[in-house]
Structure 1
Amino acid sequence: MGNFLLLFKVTCLLLVYFYSKAIITKVFSLYYNSPMPNIKYLIRRVTRMDYKAMGAKIKDIHEKSGKSRVWIFFDMIHCGRKFGAGYMDYWLYEMYNLNDKERDTYITRGRNYDLVKRYNDPKYTALIDNKIEFNKLFGEFLGRKWLEIRKDNKQEVIDFINDHDFLIAKADLGSCGKTVEKIDCKAEKAEDIYERLVNQERPHFFEEVIVQHPAVSAIYPYAINTIRIVTIQREGKVHVASACCRFGNYGHSVDNFNNGGMTAPVNEKTGEITDFPIDKTKVLYEKHPMTGAVFKGFVFPMWDEVIAMCTKAAMVVPQVGFIGWDVCLTPDGPVIVEGNDYPGHDLYQLPEHTHDKMGIWPKYQF
């Protein structure tokens, strides 16, 4: 395997070298009828690639499919060059079982990157990335009170803590729920809570706990189960490209896919869950193992309001046109949990949910 990885790395570097010398550009263009990818992006991907992890994926594909490692290796290069697919895309979407026409329907890492570069001005993405700045701009969509924790508002924060039984504390930057903590406001002194959080490395803030819609809590009550809505905004027009939902599991307080959660596709026009959820270990669930709730066919309440809210929110920072909105349903209507200016692309088109071997890339053409 070590020699194979060395061969792969050398081959990739040679491809970059020859491409930079414009020796094979014309050959690729004629053979594949498409241009070579951006040289800077290609070099960055090759030099930063985790070759050990990639080799493990090649081994896994070889064992599953029976295809030779050499064939898989060169097919990965082909899919990376033609469709912008990383080795994780190739493995996750089982591209080794797809023809090029089918592969071309998938949004890949490279294509997702291109959308971000095309629609999101980096001078404005901090307004989405930074959760404090986000809350300032998108307050009308939050449906909950929130408060910054600063050195100059100690008494205000203490009063806020004393007024609540529980609060959610978050850092201004962070992902996957790693900087989120549920605070029991009665378990320790308000001043101690304040001092602990105000002295954290990153600025923190409080949010009120979201009360989830009973229909969604009936499926899984221990976490805020979110819907991811992806919008593309261009020249004042907003297109809803895709939707999926996430549910927690195992009693965990988060719905994150990497923390035991599960995901399922949602019809972006109707709000219906169209297939069985799957978790990271590729287990499919007809019913939730903790509640017995049936997933497929469930229609999220107030779907028209969800789409209207995300469409309106997409116009708040028009310089950031490609956003993934994490939405939660409450008894009073939908609220936005957060926005993501670099939406993931993997959860919307898993093989277990693409029975016709067709991805969602056509939906992103706007």
Structure 2
Amino acid sequence: MTKLKTFFRRLFAGSFKRMFGYIGTIHKETGKNRFIMFFDMIWCIFRYSVGYMDYRVFGFANIKGKNRRTFMTMNDNITISKRCNDRTYFHIFDNKSEFDEAFREYIGRDFLNLEKATADDLREFCKGRETVFAKPVNQFGGEGITKETVTPDTDYEALYKRLCDNKQYLVEETIKQNEQMDRLSPSSINTIRMVTLLHDGKVHFMYALVRMSNGTNCVDNICSGGMYVSIGADGVIHKNAYCDATGVYYEEHPFTHTKFNGFEIPMFFEAVEMCKKAALVVPQVGYIGWDVAITPTRPVLVEGNTLPSYDMCQNYGHIDNKTGVRPRFVEILGEEYFK
């Protein structure tokens, strides 16, 4: 009954126009028959709870049978978050000011909460700095973030009012990015998404991927035209980066021309250990996707997400052996967690 409900919800919630658009794109990429693919998509909605967008990202046109069962779905992801995370603690992660306070040890930068500060406090905070970042405390995906340039002539009363009017209550010191990470894209802080799972008192590191801007935006979010690629267990990129906006896998960054395959993430293992320690700060929230920046001296936390994305880590162009991440989660949690 649950699968039937999911089937009809996914079927009617989607857009057939977009669905046929995806079918056309996959046909061009693979040469697969459009008619057969349409019915296969319908079957995957019912059998695996995988919609047409995930069908393409997961590469299901080229994956059959038991391998399809290895992919974690949206339903699986939500189930894990519900069972491993206590929602009463979500405010710590949903509010960026609260997050910075709770994880101050791992933030690695100064910050100011304008809800508790004055224009004079803002002036003092900006002293000696050329830029700061202003953020809404409860927005995600890079929405509403601005990079503010400050000079001796800055009108702090006006700046304070504008930021408060825009609900950009969190002002942070600009992160200086590691020179190696700058090679990917210098226009943004190229964050590493690292996912941890706390179960039975033990923190497990699940996977990592790096996101970067297209070379012009100041944020690395995928919805802002950014790119992403998985990171191997050795801290090295072994795949080509993918861009949702273009649907293309890139061997090198189109702006910086840095080759992806073979690129080594600096201080990767230090970042893993930092996330595993941070996972114990609020143990009531056990399934977290951390956004990590690499500075010249250390990895630092940017934010934490209580519902980590399940799709990017299973991108067909980034996986090996046509296998998803579900078995790794089952190994730790047990199959009963997904029922």
Cα deviation, 1:312-337, whole Å, max 9, x if unaligned, reads 11111112111111111111210011
CA distance in 2, matches of 1:134, 1:300: 25
Q: 2:77 aligns with which of 91, 103, 112?
A: 112
Q: 2:203 aligns with which of 212, 218, 238?
A: 238
The one of the two structures with greater contact order (alpha-carbon pairs below 8 A, sep at least 6) is 2
Residue pair 2:49, 2:73 contacting (<8 A) in 1 also: yes
Matching of residues 313-324 of structure 1 within 5 Å: 313-324=278-289
Tell me if structure 2 keeps the 8 A contact 1:83–1:111. Answer: no
Shift of 1:138: 0.8
- One of 156, 165, 169 as aligned partner of 1:199: 165
Q: 1: distance between equivalents of 2:34 and 2:131?
A: 56
1:180-195 alignment runs, 5 A limit: 180-186=145-151, 188-195=154-161
Task: Decide whether aligned partners of structure 1 residues 185 and 97 sit closer, same or farther in structure 2, where only a CA change above 3 A counts.
Answer: same
Q: SS of the residue aligned with 1:351?
A: coil
Aligned with 2:87: secondary structure?
coil
Instruction: State yes or no: 1:278 paired with 2:242.
Output: yes
Q: 2:243, 2:201 → 1: CA distance?
A: 37
Give 1:91 deviation, angstroms: 2.5
Which residue matches 2:138?
Answer: 173
Q: Gaps (5+ residues) in structure 2?
A: 333-339
Q: Distance in 2 between matches of 1:257 and 1:352?
A: 16
For the Cα contact (< 8 Å) 2:122–2:160, is it kept in 1?
yes
**Structure 1 residue 146, shift from structure 2 partner:** 0.2
Alignment of 1:118-267 (within 5 A): 118-150=83-115, 153-186=118-151, 188-200=154-166, 202=167, 204-267=169-232
Residues of 1 paired with 2:61 and 2:260: CA distance? Answer: 30
Alignment of 1:19-58 (within 5 A): 19=1, 36-37=2-3, 39=5, 45=10, 48-58=13-23
Amino acid of the structure 2 residue aligned with 1:101: K
Secondary structure of 2:248's counterpart equals coil
Residue 323 of structure 2 corresponds to residue 358 of structure 1: yes
The alignment status of 1:291 with 2:252, answered yes or no, reads no
Deviates most, 207-216 or 179-188:
179-188
Query: CA distance change for structure 1 residues 250 and 155 in 2, over 3 Å: closer, same or farther?
Result: closer
**Greater CA drift, 102-111 or 276-285:** 276-285
Match of 2:291 in 1: 326
- Give the alignment partner of residue 59 of structure 2, picking from 74, 77, 94: 94
* Runs (5+) with no aligned partner, structure 1: 1-18, 20-35
TM-score (norm 2): 0.88
The Cα RMSD (Å) is 2.3
Give 1:170's aligned amino acid.
K
C-alpha distance in 2 between matches for 1:110 and 1:82: 13
* Shift of residue 93, structure 1, vs aligned partner: 1.8
TM-score, length-scaled by structure 1:
0.82
Amino acid across the alignment from 1:273: I
Q: CA deviation at 1:180?
A: 0.6
Distance 1:68 1:279, change over 3 A: closer
Q: Which is further off, 301-310 or 138-147?
A: 301-310
How far apart, in 2, do the equivalents of 1:239 and 1:113 lie? 18
Shift of 1:293: 2.4
Shift of residue 48, structure 1, vs aligned partner = 3.7
- Cα–Cα, structure 1 residues 38 and 319, in superposed 2: closer, same or farther, change >3 Å? farther
Tell me how far apart the structure 2 counterparts of residues 50 and 286 of structure 1 sit (CA, whole Å). 32
The size of the alignment, in residue pairs, is 328
Cα distance in 2 for residues equivalent to 1:283 and 1:44? 30
Deviates more, 1:292-301 or 1:52-61: 52-61
Distance in structure 1 (CA, Å) of the matches to 2:135 and 2:114: 10
C-alpha distance after superposition, 1:48-107 (max 9, x if no partner): 4344433433454566544353x4444334323332312211122231322121111212
- Counterpart CA distance in 2 for 1:311 and 1:336 is 12
What is the Cα deviation at residue 128 of structure 1? 0.9
1:83–1:110: 8 Å Cα contact kept in structure 2? Answer: no
Residues 7 and 49 in structure 2, CA contact (< 8 A), matched pair in contact too: no
Assess, with a 3 A threshold, how the Cα gap between structure 1 residues 118 and 76 changes in structure 2: closer, same or farther: farther
Structure 2 vs 1, CA of residues 203 and 219 (structure 1 numbering), >3 Å: closer, same or farther?
A: closer
Name the amino acid aligned to 1:253: C
